[in-house]
Amino acid sequence: MSGGHAEFAVANASAVIPIPDTLDFAPAAAFPLQRISAYQILRESARLQAGETVLVTAYVALPLE
């Protein structure tokens, strides 16, 4: 089986990040959602274009310890 329901996937090494020993699988699996959400807001909602800048006044991240 291939696609989103496969047990395994193939990816270039440059497209993946190893999970640190201090981070469980579930938070690590959710980590990309922050970047995807930010991208969607900036590109689709705010219609940010190349060359424009954004001031980020707050940032929340998962603790890596």
Check whether 65 has a pLDDT greater than 70: no
Check whether 3 has a pLDDT greater than 80: no
pLDDT tens-digit series, residues 54-64: 887 776 665 65
- Model pLDDT, residue 12: 92
- Model pLDDT, residue 2: 54
Residue 61 CA to residue 64 CA, distance in Å, equals 9
Token representation of residue 30: 């959710």
Residues 6+ positions from 64 with CB-CB distance below 8 Å? 20, 22, 23
Q: Rounded mean pLDDT of 10-29?
A: 87
